[in-house]
Amino acid sequence: MTTMATAAPARASQTWYKILYIQVLIAIVVGALVGWLWPSVATNDWIKALGDGFIKLIKMVIAPIIFCTVASGIAHIQDAKKVGRVGVKALVYFEIVSSFALLLGLIMGNLIQIGRGLALKPDAAAVANYVKQAEASKSVDFILNIIPDTVVGAFARGDVLQVLLFAILFGFSLMALGERGERLRGMIDDVARAVFGVIAIIMKAAPIGAFGAMAFTIGKFGPAALGNLIGLIALFYVTAALFVVVVLGVIARIIGFSIFKFIVYIKDELLIVLGTSSSESALPQLMEKLERLGCSKPVVGLVVPTGYSFNLDGTNIYMTLATLFIAQALGVDLTFGQQLTILLVAMLTSKGASGVTGAGFITLAATLSVVNPALVPGMAIVFSIDKFMSEVRALTNITGNGIAAVFVSWWEGELEHATLHARLDRPTTVDTGR
């Protein structure tokens, strides 16, 4: 638990106004006030450009992030050979539970259409840039368009599905290389860390983007838009809570314990995640606690790190709700086929989104560009409140990965039930040693 001990003083000594979270909150409040009191100023092209510019910076790194995280994630699955069937069981679990998260988001988004009534209109010029891409979403053309003419062209255009296809093929190729591909896997991981560093730099401009997006939204559509945005936040919180209590709760009950006791058991890790908005910040402590809980070390060592790329329940819920909200706000009716596309595309684009603050917004951009490119300009609406939802995404992700490790250990017959119940019944003793 050394990481926790050393991290706390560093955060405590940081001046409050230098914390990005505080800066974004202040920017949102100021932006809302400017949009309300001076709508003519807030709807100025330069104010709008602040939010749009930040979104373009985010879109700039979508292709390299998707390639690095998906290719590296698949290539590292070879570690599953060390623990036999664990890797396959983990992946099966991840995809099934992720599907439940996506479906729950779609159901809630369709039942409670919080975006209706805004009647927003996307920028005509921006939508025109996507018309040709939208036409390619028809039947055979859609399938053929997934295959790039050249790999470089896919990256240059930022075509998400084309980059995904190449990343998947490249990942399996690296897996087949075995030890010979170790150096290349390491290079890809380093590139991924460097790109995440770029995101960290871009996120420093988040307060400016948040100010511009909120000011323009309120200035153009009036204070009534705040009600819809607050409604989206509330709907996301409720949906995430339902997923944890119902879906993860049922899984926990199948194993034989209470989801509420598990949440209390990992409360310290949840607080770390709450402060950083990234579930990766608590990864070492979570793995240690899961081993103390009675999960086998090999299972924890494989399932938890893999889950950070393949088991992102909170991000999946966020993407379905946000996509439907934007479509409803823009008056775009999504067909059943397009909503099914959300499930399929989000299942892929969410991979690797857990380790970086704000990465859920990147995956949303990737999903929108495939489902219906006309929705992409509407990202500015959601961005102004994205920070309020990033914590819940991360909290849901880390809880889901913890339950995944316990379930796979149980599935493998390697879960010590006596230890499990002893630890959950006395959570205050978990830091006193094994």
What is the DSSP code (8-state) at residue 54? H
Confidence of residue 144 (pLDDT cuts 50, 70, 90): confident
Does residue 152 carry a pLDDT above 50? yes
Q: What per-residue confidence (pLDDT) applies to 244?
A: 94
Does residue 432 carry a pLDDT above 50? no
Does residue 287 carry a pLDDT above 80? no
Q: What per-residue confidence (pLDDT) applies to 354?
A: 47
Residues 6+ apart with CB under 8 A from 73: 171, 306, 309, 310, 351, 352
Residues 6+ apart with CB under 8 A from 422: none
Q: What per-residue confidence (pLDDT) applies to 104?
A: 92
Average pLDDT over residues 357-368: 64
Give which of 327, 320, 414 is closest to 360, Cα–Cα.
320
pTM score: 0.61
Give which of 312, 338, 317 is closest to 327, Cα–Cα.
338
Does residue 355 carry a pLDDT above 50? no
Amino acid at 14: Q
pLDDT one-digit tens code per residue, 374-414: 777 777 677 666 666 777 887 888 899 899 989 998 988 88
Task: Give the span between the Cα atoms of 104 and 30, in whole angstroms.
Answer: 34
Task: Give the span between the Cα atoms of 272 and 268, in whole angstroms.
Answer: 6
pLDDT one-digit tens code per residue, 107-138: 998 888 776 666 555 544 444 444 344 444 44
Task: Give the span between the Cα atoms of 256 and 419, in whole angstroms.
Answer: 13
Burial of 429 (0-12, 13-18, 19+ CB in 10 A): exposed
Task: Give the span between the Cα atoms of 34 and 218, in whole angstroms.
Answer: 8
Token pair for 198: 């770029």
Q: What per-residue confidence (pLDDT) applies to 252?
A: 93
Q: What per-residue confidence (pLDDT) applies to 387?
A: 61
Average pLDDT over residues 35-46: 81
The secondary structure element, H or E, covering residue 110 is helix 86-111
Rank 57-61, 126-130, 182-186, 302-306 by mean pLDDT and report only the highest: 182-186
Select the more confidently predicted residue: 394 or 260: 260
Q: What per-residue confidence (pLDDT) applies to 21?
A: 63
Amino acid at 228: N
Q: What per-residue confidence (pLDDT) applies to 274?
A: 62
Helix, strand or coil, per DSSP, at residue 165? helix
Does residue 251 carry a pLDDT above 90? yes
pLDDT one-digit tens code per residue, 332-343: 777 777 788 777
Q: What is the dihedral of CA 179, 183, 185, 188, to 10 degrees?
A: -170
Backbone phi and psi for residue 133, each to the nearest 5 degrees, phi listed first: -65, -40
Task: Give the span between the Cα atoms of 142 and 122, in whole angstroms.
Answer: 24
Select the more confidently predicted residue: 381 or 98: 98
* First-to-last C-alpha distance (Å) of the chain: 13
Task: Give the span between the Cα atoms of 286 and 398, in whole angstroms.
Answer: 8
Token pair for 147: 């295959």
Q: What per-residue confidence (pLDDT) applies to 31?
A: 83
Looking at 204-296, list the stretches that DSSP marks H as alpha helix, in order from N- to C-terminal side: 206-221, 224-242, 249-255, 259-265, 267-276, 283-292
Average pLDDT over residues 57-79: 72
Residues 6+ apart with CB under 8 A from 135: 141
Task: Give the span between the Cα atoms of 24 and 210, in whole angstroms.
Answer: 7
Average pLDDT over residues 424-429: 68
Alpha-carbon 83 to chain mean position: 28
DSSP 83-96: GTTHHHHHHHHHHH
Task: Give the span between the Cα atoms of 352 and 375, in whole angstroms.
Answer: 23
Q: What per-residue confidence (pLDDT) applies to 404?
A: 92
Q: What per-residue confidence (pLDDT) applies to 248?
A: 94
- Choices 2.60.120, 3.20.20, 1.25.40, 1.10.3860: CATH for 16-432: 1.10.3860
Average pLDDT over residues 283-311: 77
Confidence of residue 241 (pLDDT cuts 50, 70, 90): very high
Does residue 254 carry a pLDDT above 90? yes
- What does pLDDT average to over the chain? 75
